[in-house]
């Protein structure tokens, strides 16, 4: 290594080289500026340093200068004597460190050998103890000993206690302790799954079902996990799967109250299967338990509430059976209980809400009975309570939803009354709430479904008002939601069914618009879903009935298209399903009525085909069913009206056949029923129009018999009726059209008479 004097000399030399190279470069730059006009100093310097040798030389000089300076200013070089001392010291330290490491390694090896020997001795000791306690020897016993040893060495005090039990002559106790620990862990995890299910249920019921499945696997003794799973299986899997879940729950029902709940669950399945007689038996069994418990402790609000639920369930069976009077009695019994409980605790909002449910159920019965005034009173009573609850807690989404439902029900009353403007206002108010809730929680599938229903209701109003374009927009908006939900969970039968119904609504609209090809496409899309659901679960009578309805809708398109043979095929396919369901449950009034509708549709085809004798047979088959139903439930106004319709259809056949006397008899029988219903409920526009139709039919018959004066009188009566309806509902296009038609008939008769 050079000395400091050598380094200083090197600095002088390299510095001189650097300065000399720089001077040469500057001189070259100056010559460049002088010889080349327009050249500045930057151009000149670049040109001066471009030649290779000057540039390389300058760079070398610079580097040499920097290196020499760093060497001079850096650490002082070590002498040979100093280097020998360093090596000697380092060698001593290295030898000492190596000797220490070897010593530690030997110590660790000895400790490891001692530990292994200790563990081996412990294992041998445990093995010996376990051998003394009996049991199977060999490998199984060795494995058991190792397990005990593992527990004994655990950081957990509980594990060490269990190991002590095993070696203290109680391996059974250790086993029970370990199983208990595992079961406790399973229960903790099961509760997590239950929490997950409850959390996700409003957003994705399918995921909730999966979570409940995991919960019952981990903790099969939890009763309500089975119940909640059963309810979801009924929607996503099958009624059989649901029944299996409820059966598992029944095996674990600890008391009568839980058994009454399960009677109701089994009853709901039987209703879906159309087994109304068996469903009634289940609900009555649940009611008997509820009555007994409620009598034992009248102050127990839960048991009193259960009694209301049982009454409502039995009311649902009676509605499905068509026994509206019996349904009213059941619902009124439930209402009396709710009224009493709500009066006892006016501040209890849950009890107040229960009261609104009872009001709505009774309102639904009155609607089905055609008693619109009574229905309005019931719905308004429920609305008043729900409006109060919603105002007390605006952030409660469920109460806001209840308020929307009440608005929709009152809109239905106005629709049935022919007050389309008032109906639109009610539905728009309900829609505003539904839109707000859906925007607030876009992932809440129930609220999204409610929004689709609101759109459909407004579509119905516009269709009835003749605004088919506006109706189409509403229906298509609802369809978009149904499509999204159905795609989100393809296993959800309820959402798939909603989608099918949406297609049917649009099909109906296209028929009314005259777009038969488009209507057919819509109906076929709905049929594809109905067929898939019906094939997926043949025991679900509701889905079988939906399939029959889809066949009928396609038959309607073919009738309007003039394809009577194709229409007949569709109607016969639907009739076959109706016959099977009606035979399966003769006491189910809804299915019996469906069967009569099937006969009438085929009768209409035969009339259009000109085969009046076959048409008469079909209509008489339908009439026989309707007579039986009307006699069975005289208070069921829908069935009374159906009977009048059947009389009119047979009257048309007899009139077309030239049997005017027989036609008059049929028309007059229908007229008597229509007149009674119209007098019973002047507000029901449908019944008022039925009476108008009966008068018009008798008027046409009188003219056919040669009684022009009698025909004119009948037409004038019909005109007054329709004028009253048109004035009450000026925006109802059907009423205006009917009024124009009857006035044309009156004008024609008066002109002919003159």
Give 147's pLDDT tier (boundaries 50, 70, 90).
confident
Q: 202 versus 34: which is more confidently predicted? A: 202
Of the chain, the percentage scoring pLDDT greater than 70 comes to 82
C-alpha span between 170 and 483 (Å, rounded): 63
pLDDT at 292 over 80: yes
Task: Give the integer Cα–Cα distance in Å for 743 and 728.
Answer: 18
144 token code pair: 């058991």
pLDDT tens, residue by residue, 510-546: 999 999 999 999 999 999 999 999 999 888 899 999 9
pLDDT beyond 60 at 632: yes
- The Cβ of residue 143 has, within 10 Å, a number of other Cβ atoms equal to 10
**Average pLDDT in the chain:** 86
Q: How far is residue 547 from each of residues 238, 491, 501, 541, measured CA to CA in Å?
A: 17, 18, 11, 10
pLDDT of residue 53: 41
Contacts of 699 (CB under 8 A, 6+ apart): 710, 711, 712, 713, 714, 715, 718, 745
pLDDT of 146 reads: 83
Quick: pLDDT tens for 643-697. 999 999 999 999 999 999 999 999 999 999 999 999 998 889 999 999 999 999 9
Predicted pLDDT of residue 641: 95
User: Is pLDDT of 303 > 50?
Assistant: yes
Residue range 419-477, pLDDT digits in tens: 999 999 999 999 999 999 999 988 888 999 999 999 999 999 999 999 999 999 999 99
Contact 236, 493 (CB under 8 A): yes
The confidence band for 34, taking pLDDT boundaries of 50, 70 and 90, is very low
Q: Which two tokens stand for residue 419?
A: 């007050």
Cβ distance 50 to 32 under 8 Å? no
Number of other residues whose CB lies within 10 A of the CB of residue 35 = 9
Cα separation, 582 vs 116, whole angstroms:
81
In the three-class reduction of DSSP (H, G, I as helix; E, B as strand; rest coil), residue 91 is classed as helix
Residue 189 pLDDT: 93
- For residues 359-366, average pLDDT: 96
Give the per-residue pLDDT at 22: 52
pLDDT at position 231 is 94
pLDDT of residue 443: 86
The confidence score (pLDDT) of residue 10 equals: 47
3-state secondary structure 377-419: HHHHHHHHHHHHHHHHCCCCHHHHHHHHHHHHHHHHHHHHHCC
C-alpha to C-alpha distance for 456 and 415, rounded to whole angstroms: 13
E strand or H helix at 138 = none
Going by the DSSP 8-state scheme, the letter that residue 137 receives in this structure is -
Which among 235, 198, 201, 197 is positioned nearest to 445, based on CA atoms? Answer: 201
CA–CA–CA angle 193, 196, 201 (5° rounding) = 125
Rounded CA separation 434/501 (Å):
20
Residue 23, Cβ neighbours under 10 Å: how many?
10
The Cα–Cα gap between 503 and 508 comes to 9
Predicted pLDDT of residue 100:
62
**Of 631, 630, 608, residue with least CA distance to 618:** 608
- pLDDT of 61 > 50? The answer is no
**pLDDT band per the 50, 70, 90 thresholds, residue 67:** very low
pLDDT band at 112 (very low <50, low <70, confident <90, very high): very low
CA 469 to chain centre: 29
CA distances from 500 to 141, 444, 514 (A): 64, 21, 21
Res 375 pLDDT > 90: yes
Least confident of 92-101, 484-493, 585-594, 639-648: 92-101
User: Which region among 44-48, 140-144, 520-524 has the lowest average model confidence (pLDDT)?
Assistant: 44-48
Phi, psi of 565 (to 5 degrees): -65, -45
Instruction: Show the tokens assigned to 131.
Output: 């051998």
Residue 258 scores a pLDDT above 90: yes
**For residue 307, which of 295, 326, 294 has the smallest C-alpha distance?**
294
DSSP 79: P
Distance of CA 59 to the CA centre of its chain: 80
Check whether 730 has a pLDDT greater than 70: yes
Q: pLDDT at position 180, please?
A: 83
Exposure string over 85-95, b if 16+ CB within 10 A, otherwise e? eeeeeeeeeee
pLDDT in tens, 550-594: 999 999 999 999 999 999 999 999 999 999 999 988 888 889 999
**pLDDT of residue 478 exceeding 70:** yes
Alpha-carbon distance 692 to 734, whole Å?
13
Count helices and strands (H / E) in the chain: 31, 0
Question: How do residues 167-177 score in pLDDT, each as one tens digit?
Answer: 887 888 887 88
Distance from chain centroid for Cα 48 = 84
Task: Return the higher-pLDDT residue of 532 and 31.
Answer: 532
DSSP character at residue 20: H
How many other C-beta atoms are found inside a 10 Å radius of the C-beta of residue 132? Answer: 9
Q: Name the percent of the chain in helix, strand, coil, to the closest 5.
A: 85, 0, 15
Q: Where are the alpha helices (DSSP H) in 418-444?
A: 420-440
Identify the residue whose tokens are 């360093």.
Answer: 86
pLDDT band at 286 (very low <50, low <70, confident <90, very high): very high
């Amino acid at each position: 290594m050079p000395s400091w004097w050598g380094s200083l000399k090197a600095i002088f030399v390299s510095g001189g080289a650097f300065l000399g190279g720089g001077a040469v470069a500057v001189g070259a730059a100056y010559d460049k500026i002088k010889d080349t006009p327009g050249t500045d100093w930057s151009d000149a310097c670049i040109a001066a340093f471009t030649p290779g040798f000057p540039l390389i030389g300058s760079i070398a000089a610079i580097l040499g200068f920097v290196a020499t300076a760093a060497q001079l200013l850096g650490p002082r070089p070590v002498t040979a004597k100093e280097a020998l001392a360093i090596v000697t010291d380092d060698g001593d330290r290295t030898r000492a460190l190596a000797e220490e490491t070897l010593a530690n390694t030997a110590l660790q090896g000895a400790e490891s050998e001692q530990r292994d020997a200790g563990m081996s001795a412990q294992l041998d000791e445990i093995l010996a103890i376990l051998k003394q306690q009996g049991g199977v020897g060999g490998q199984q016993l060795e494995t058991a000993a190792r397990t005990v040893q593992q527990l004994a060495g655990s950081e957990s005090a509980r594990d060490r206690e269990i190991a002590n039990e095993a070696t203290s002559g109680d391996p059974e106790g250790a086993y029970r302790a370990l199983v208990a620990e595992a079961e406790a862990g399973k229960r903790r995890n099961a509760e997590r799954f239950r929490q997950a299910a409850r959390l996700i249920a409003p957003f994705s019921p399918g995921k909730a079902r999966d979570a409940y499945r995991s919960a019952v696997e981990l903790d099969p003794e939890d009763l309500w996990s089975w119940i909640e799973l059963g309810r979801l299986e009924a929607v996503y899997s099958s009624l059989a799967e649901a029944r299996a879940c409820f059966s598992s729950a029944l095996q674990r029902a600890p008391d009568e109250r839980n058994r009454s709940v399960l009677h109701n669950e089994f009853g709901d399945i039987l209703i879906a299967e159309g087994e109304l007689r068996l469903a009634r038996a289940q609900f009555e069994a649940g009611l008997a338990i509820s009555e007994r418990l409620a009598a034992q402790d009248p102050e127990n609000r839960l048991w009193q509430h259960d009694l209301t639920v049982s009454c409502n369930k039995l009311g649902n069976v009676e509605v499905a059976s068509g026994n509206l009077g019996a349904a009213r009695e059941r619902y009124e019994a439930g209402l009396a209980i709710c009224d009493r409980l709500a009066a006892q605790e006016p501040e209890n909002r849950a009890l107040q809400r229960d009261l609104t449910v009872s009001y709505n159920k009774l309102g639904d019965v009155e609607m089905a009975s055609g008693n619109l005034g009574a229905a309005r009173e019931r719905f308004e009573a429920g609305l008043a309570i729900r409006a109060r609850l919603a105002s007390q807690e605006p952030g409660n989404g469920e109460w806001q939803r209840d308020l929307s439902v009440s608005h929709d029900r009152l809109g239905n009353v106005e629709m049935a009354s022919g007050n389309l403007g008032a109906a639109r206002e009610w539905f728009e108010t309900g829609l505003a709430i539904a839109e707000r809730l859906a925007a607030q929680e876009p992932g809440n599938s129930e609220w999204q479904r409610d929004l689709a229903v609101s759109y459909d209701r407004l579509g119905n109003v516009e269709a009835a008002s003749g605004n088919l374009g506006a109706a189409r927009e509403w229906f298509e908006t609802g369809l978009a939601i149904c499509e999204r939900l159905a795609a989100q969970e393809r296993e959800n039968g309820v959402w798939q069914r909603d989608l099918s119904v949406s297609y049917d609504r649009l099909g109906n609209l296209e028929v009314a618009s005259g777009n038969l090809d488009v209507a057919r496409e819509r109906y076929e899309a709905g049929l594809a879903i109905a067929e898939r659901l019906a094939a997926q679960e043949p025991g679900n009578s509701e889905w079988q009935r939906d399939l029959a309805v889809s066949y009928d809708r396609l038959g309607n398109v073919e009738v309007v298209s003039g394809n009577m043979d194709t229409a007949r095929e569709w109607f016969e396919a639907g009739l076959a399903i109706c016959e099977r369901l009606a035979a399966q449950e003769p006491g189910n009034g809804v299915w019996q009525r469906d069967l009569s509708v099937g006969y009438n549709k085929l009768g209409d085809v035969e009339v259009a085909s000109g085969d009046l004798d076959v048409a008469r047979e079909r209509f008489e088959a339908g009439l026989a069913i309707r007579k039986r139903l009307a006699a069975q439930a005289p208070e069921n106004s829908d069935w009374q009206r159906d009977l009048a319709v059947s009389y009119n259809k047979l009257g048309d056949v007899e009139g077309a056949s030239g049997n005017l006397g027989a036609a008059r008899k049929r028309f007059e029988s229908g007229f008597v029923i229509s007149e009674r219903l119209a007098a019973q409920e002047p507000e029901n526009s449908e019944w008022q129009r039925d009476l108008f139709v009966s008068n018009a039919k008798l008027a046409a018959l009188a003219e056919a018999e040669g009684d022009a004066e009698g025909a004119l009188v009948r037409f004038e009566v019909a005109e007054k009726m329709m004028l009253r309806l048109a004035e009450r509902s000026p925006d109802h296009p059907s009423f205006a059209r009917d009024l124009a038609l009857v006035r044309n008939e009156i004008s024609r008769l008066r002109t002919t008479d003159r």
